[in-house]
Amino acid sequence: MGVKKPSLGALLLALIPFVAMCFSVSLWDRIQPMIFGLPFNLFWLIAWIVLSSLCMWAAYRVEVARDKKDSKAP
Amino acid sequence: MSPSAVSLSTIFVIVAIGVAIGFLAGVHRKMDLEQWTVGGRGFGALLIFLLMAGEVYTTFAFLGASGWAYSRGGPTLYIMAYLTLAYVVSFFILPQIWEVGQKYGMQTQSDFFSTRYGNKYLAGFVCVVGIASFIPYLQLQITGVGIIVSIASFDGIGRIPAMAASVVLLVAFVFASGVRAVAWVSVLKDVLMVFAAVSIGIGIPYIHFGGIGPMFTALAHSHPAHLTMPGATINLGHTWFISTVLLTSLGFYMWPHAFGAAFTAKSGDTLRRNAVVMPLYTITLAFIFFVGFTAVLVVPGLPNGDLSLLTIVRKSFPPWFLGVIGGAGALTAMVPAAIFLLTAATLFAKNLFRPIFAPAMTDDQVAKLARVMVVVLGLISLLLAIYKSATLVGLLLTGYAGVTQFFPGVVLGLFWKRVTMPGVFAGMIAGVATVIFLLLSHRDPLYGWSAGFVALCLNFLTTALVSRLTPAIVLPE
């Protein structure tokens, strides 16, 4: 169907939230140390909701920059 | 007035305002099939956002997430991870889905499969699996309304009459208004929902423990295993967490209504920007978890965790406030349920019945059949809600095990030229058969792995293998 494949940079940026929130679960699934009164695992996930959004913002910049470059190329 | 009269009438007023907004949005528009199901395609970015956001907060997030925090503990955290990662996945597939949809004039998920793979039986099979997966999701919403009404009536009204009444109201609402109305009611629903979540998430730990921190300290002290995985379960450990988060984050946009919403966006770029912002929307879930965890200490021993949020609200606040939370909860069940009913009924009439059994049907006849299906699907879900009990989260995971089986066909269809129709068809049948077998024989999780994820892996392997062995198809240009 000829759609554009995502760039490697964007894919790598998207891998970060997957590693942090999913694959590394056994490293952060603990109660101590409690931070801001929250168990560590809950604090970790809330922090990564915000950080994931930042990662995807970066991925967005990467994709936009690539699209611009592509449209300039002959 | 008695406490139950106060809380029930508050719920009634909130639902009535919601229904009135729905009727007003439907007035002055001729309700043909197109208007009723896709809102005449004239949806701006705002309405799309509302429809997509409206799907996040269903009764699942409200009563189900707190219910699992109460009854299962740590494993409930998967919900936070999967919703965030679902948007990360959407960044890479929705703009592409939008692009091919634009190019080939697609309106539904089933159109994607029939255009990409050129086979109406494959497209029909996708409809059947989609509709079957909607049923537990609908059952979940109806069960939720039953819980809300019975707790708000201080157990004066039974769950079965409450569920029956909610199905009647739901069908009437869907008949009268259509998808545009539903999108506008979801504005009221989301505002109420965020207000409800934040106020009880902060208020309830404060009332009973003087704050969120002291509540968690007390819980960690008295139930040291509850806050981590596997929590109060024996088999929902880290393997289950990883496999379930993968299953559900990959499957999130495979729901037919979510997939279809992508076609109505203004541009692919809108969808990408949506994916950047939407994760922040899941932070509200933390407040819902706070309530469920507080309930472990304050109202122990409930027969069903899904009752915990409203039971503790009833214990902590005056009846009118219970009514506000209950009203928010009722809309949170009814708005998504209306979307699911509309989507499933239209899929049946337009994408399954007409192309395969009755190609000569007119649009009017299709619209009539869709309305009949709204009633039929509503009744099936009601019967299941009455006779088959499961936790709300359990119901949603059953639906996900079904819809995620579309993922290989969608992603490989977009990005791998060599994938073939027999490959995708064989993979999907293998995946769905595995899901049915594992769920019916109570093998979920299978050695710690989510059954739907095991089926998804098998599906991917079969698709790739059979595609290699069958001749490549000529793609439509």
ipTM of the prediction = 0.94
User: What residue type is assigned to position B98 of the chain?
Assistant: W
- pLDDT exceeds cutoff 90 at B190: no
Closest CA to B333 of B139, B130, B85: B139
Dihedral of alpha carbons B445, B451, B452, B458, sign = positive
Closest residue to B242, CB basis, from A2, A23, A39: A23
- Asked if residue B41 has pLDDT above 60, the reply is no
- H helix runs in B317-420, sequence order: 319-346, 354-357, 363-387, 392-403, 407-415
Using DSSP, state whether B208 is helix, strand or coil: helix
- Interface of chain A toward chain B, CB-CB under 8 angstroms: 1-6, 10-11, 14, 17-18, 21-23, 25-26, 29-31, 34, 36-39, 41-42, 45-46, 48-50, 52-53, 55-57, 59-60, 63
Q: In this structure, are residues B444 and B438 in contact, taking their beta carbons and an 8 Å threshold?
A: yes
Residue among A18, A36, A60 minimizing CB distance to B85: A18
Q: What is the mean pLDDT of residues B324-337?
A: 90
d(C-alpha B466, C-alpha B470), whole Å: 6
Does the residue B457 lie in any domain? Answer: no
pLDDT at A68 over 90: no
- As given in the structure block, the two tokens for residue B305 are 């965790």
Average the pLDDT over each of B122-126, B268-272, B454-458 and give the range with the smallest value: B268-272
Q: Chain A contacts of B227, Cβ < 8 Å?
A: 31, 39, 41-42
Which residue out of B91, B221, B417 would a mutagenesis test of the A interface target, given it has the greatest number of A Cβ atoms within 10 Å? B91
Contact B314, B151 (CB under 8 A): yes
Residue span of the structural domain in which B107 resides = 3-391
- Residue among B244, B428, B426, B263 nearest B343 (CA): B263
pLDDT at residue B343, rounded to an integer: 87
Tell if the CB–CB gap between B279 and A3 is shorter than 8 Å.
no
SS3 category, B365: helix
- Tokens at B49, concatenated: 């956002």
Residues of B with Cβ-Cβ distance to A12 under 8 angstroms: none
Inter-residue contact B252 to B89 (CB < 8 Å):
yes
Mean pLDDT within B443-453 = 89
Q: What pLDDT is attached to residue B183? A: 73
Residue B227 inside a domain? The answer is yes
Give pLDDT, residue A34: 94
Classify B80 in phi/psi space as left (phi over 0), alpha (psi -120 to 50) or beta. Answer: alpha
Cβ-nearest to B77 among A3, A23, A45: A45
Of B81, B214, B272, the CB nearest to A45: B81
Q: Is residue B187 part of a domain?
A: yes
Determine contact, residues B130/B399, Cβ cutoff 8 Å.
no
Chain A residues within 8 A of B279 when measuring between CB atoms: 49-50, 52-53, 56
Asked if the structure places residue B138 within a domain, the reply is yes
- Give the residue from B120, B92, B144, B188 showing the smallest Cα distance to B340: B144
Residue of chain A whose Cα is closest to the Cα of B284: A46
* Between B172 and B97, the higher pLDDT residue: B97
Q: Is the residue at B241 inside a domain?
A: yes
The CATH number for B208's domain is 1.20.1730.10
Residue B40 has pLDDT above 50, yes or no: no
**Which residue is listed with tokens 């799309």?**
B48
Number of domains making up chain B: 1
Q: Which residue in chain A is spatially nearest to B80 when comparing CA positions?
A: A45
Angle in degrees, CA B286, B287, B291, rounded to 5: 115
- Nearest one of B143, B132, B64 to B403, comparing CA atoms: B132
Q: Which residues pair with A35 in a beta bridge?
A: A38
Are B431 and B437 within 8 A, CB to CB?
Answer: no
Residue B396 lies in a domain: no
What's the mean per-residue pLDDT of chain B?
88
Q: Which one of A31, A40, A48, A50 makes the best mutation probe of the B interface by having the most chain B beta carbons within 10 Å?
A: A31
**Tokens linked to B321:** 């406030």
> Encoding tokens for residue B409?
């066909």
Which region, left, alpha or beta, applies to residue B29 given φ > 0 means left and ψ of -120 to 50 means alpha? beta
Name every chain A residue with its beta carbon within 8 A of the beta carbon of B198: none
- Chain B positions in Cβ-Cβ contact with residue A59 (cut-off 8 Å): 91, 276
Residue B361's pLDDT is 87
Closest CA to B16 of B199, B191, B197, B185: B185
> How confident is the model at residue B35, as a pLDDT?
56
Count Cβ atoms below 10 Å from residue B35 Cβ, excluding itself. Answer: 18
Query: What is residue B154's three-state secondary structure?
Result: coil
In angstroms, the CA B133 to CA B355 distance is 21
Query: Is the model more confident about B264 or about A63?
Result: A63
Residue contact A29–B238, C-beta within 8 A:
yes
User: Dihedral of CA B359/B363/B366/B370: which sign?
Assistant: positive
> What is the Cα–Cα distance from B317 to B331, expressed in whole angstroms?
20
pLDDT above 90 as % of chain A: 74
Please check whether residue B443 lies inside any domain of the structure: no
Pairwise CB contact (< 8 Å): A56 & B87: yes
CA distance B34 to B180: 11
Q: Identity (one letter) of the amino acid at A21?
A: M
**Do A49 and B283 count as a contact with CB atoms less than 8 A apart?**
yes
- Within a domain: B456: no
B70 contacts B226 by C-beta, under 8 angstroms: no
Show residues of chain A in contact with B286, CB under 8 Å: 42, 46
Q: What secondary structure letter does DSSP report for B29? A: S
What is the C-alpha separation between B323 and B345, in angstroms, rounded? 32
